[in-house]
Structure 1
Amino acid sequence: MIVDERYTTYLNSLYPELSPELKAIQQEALDTFVPIIRLETVNLLRLLIAMNQPKKILEVGAAVGFSANLMAEAAGPDARITTIENYEPRIPIANANFKRCGHENQITLLEGDAMKILPTLEGPYDFVFMDAAKGQYINFWPEVKRLTRAGGVIVTDNVLQDGDIIESRYAITRRNRTIHKRMRDYLYELTHDEGFSTTILPLGDGVSISVKGKK
């Protein structure tokens, strides 16, 4: 927990409730230990989509379809979402959840490794949400940049690793050091890319928001 849990609990209690379908998907994910976005990230996504009104959205990391359904709901029926998922057991669940929420004609799920799929996409996308393998964000970045339109928004979840990102690599368990280094490299790349304006929020497990310049 990056921010005091009491603040998070209080603030989350103020936000609008999820639709019944999304609430059910959220509970099922929690019950089966599927990682999905936290409630504070839900409300950030809703806000950013309301502000930017994207019509073409790309998601890297569908899991069971919770966040794609959320974005479809927030963006409205005219928006189209392309989402990528590599973990085969979750793909039929995600597709069933798209149908369950009535978004099966709005969301397209591409099956496979994002590193192989991203170069095949044309774009441009108005809004990109990355919530996949954290150690791969730095590798996804060149293609995600290419696919985002001028003025478009890129949101990346789980960038602060529950606060571990500020620790020395020697304080991190050996098995997590590669991810720790790659995430630090990713955050440096985001904040030093002259083509983007980026902020990093200590919200949920850390969220970065990057806006592509119009020049």
Structure 2
Amino acid sequence: MIVDERMVTYIHSLEMPDSKLLETIEQEALADHVPIIRKETQSFLKVLLQIQKPMRILEVGTAVGFSALLMNAYAPEGNRITTIEKYEKRIPIARENFRRAGKEEEITLIEGDALEVLKNLGGTYDLIFMDAAKGQYIHYLPEAIRLLEPGGLLVSDNVLQDGDVIESRFAVERRNRTIHSRMREYLYELKHNENLLTSIVPLGDGLALSVKQGEKNV
């Protein structure tokens, strides 16, 4: 944990409930041990969506569709979300959750390897939410920058890995060392890429907020 547990618990105690369906999907996901965005990250994302007002959203990593539905609910009316998932067991659950919410027309789920899907996408997006395999973020980044509208926002979740990212690679379990080194490389690139202005926020499991530099298209 990167923030004091008592502080996180207090912040959680202040949260207001979302729609009944979102609360239900969240509880179902937690019961099935499906990783979804944490409460404090949800709250932060809601505010970002109200500020940024993205109409075109791309999500890398659907899981069971919880975050896509959350973003759809807090982005401006008429928004469209494209979300990518390759884990076959979760895809039908996500599709069913979109159906339950009546959002099949607003949320498009693309099945397949995220990198291959990204390479074949055209157009641009106002906001990209990165929440897939953490060791692959560095490989997704060039395509994410290409697809992001100038002035658009790239939000990368779980970038501090419960604090492990600051440890020596030899202090991290051997099975996690590749992810550890790739995440450090990813964070360095976010901060040093001339196309991005990035802030790394120690919230939840770590968020990186990156704005693509350049004038926004009209």
The TM-score with structure 2 as length reference comes to 0.97
CA–CA separation in structure 2 for the residues paired with 1:19 and 1:10: 21
Pairs within 5 Å for 1:166-185: 166-185=166-185
Q: Which residue of 1 aligns with 2:26?
A: 26
Pairs within 5 Å for 1:112-191: 112-191=112-191
Residue 76 of structure 1, CA deviation? 3.6
Matched, 1:17 2:36: no
CA–CA separation in structure 1 for the residues paired with 2:50 and 2:13: 20
Tell me how large the CA RMSD over aligned residues is: 0.8
CA–CA separation in structure 2 for the residues paired with 1:133 and 1:213: 26
CA–CA separation in structure 2 for the residues paired with 1:129 and 1:28: 22
Matched, 1:211 2:205: no
Residue 16 of structure 1, CA deviation? 2.5
The TM-score with structure 1 as length reference comes to 0.98
Alignment size in residue pairs: 215
Q: Which residue of 1 aligns with 2:4?
A: 4
Give ranges in structure 1 of 5+ residues lacking alignment. none
Q: What letter matches 2:70 in structure 1?
A: L
Deviant stretches of 4+, over 4 Å: none
**Which secondary structure does the structure 1 equivalent of 2:89 belong to?**
helix
Please give the per-residue CA displacement for 1:36-58, whole angstroms capped at 9, x wherever unaligned.
00001101110110001000000
CA–CA separation in structure 1 for the residues paired with 2:81 and 2:64: 15
Matched, 1:94 2:104: no
Residue 194 of structure 1, CA deviation? 1.4
CA–CA separation in structure 2 for the residues paired with 1:175 and 1:204: 23
State, as a whole percentage, how many aligned pairs show the same letter.
Answer: 60
CA–CA separation in structure 2 for the residues paired with 1:103 and 1:60: 18
**Which secondary structure does the structure 2 equivalent of 1:18 belong to?**
coil
Q: What letter matches 1:72 in structure 2?
A: N
Say if 1:134 and 1:179, in contact at 8 Å, map to a contact too: yes
Matched, 1:63 2:63: yes
Give ranges in structure 2 of 5+ residues lacking alignment. none
Residue 133 of structure 1, CA deviation? 0.1
Say if 1:119 and 1:143, in contact at 8 Å, map to a contact too: yes
Please give the per-residue CA displacement for 1:31-86, whole angstroms capped at 9, x wherever unaligned.
00000000011011101100010000000000000000000000143100000001
Say if 1:199 and 1:208, in contact at 8 Å, map to a contact too: yes
CA–CA separation in structure 2 for the residues paired with 1:64 and 1:10: 27
Q: What letter matches 2:175 in structure 1?
A: R
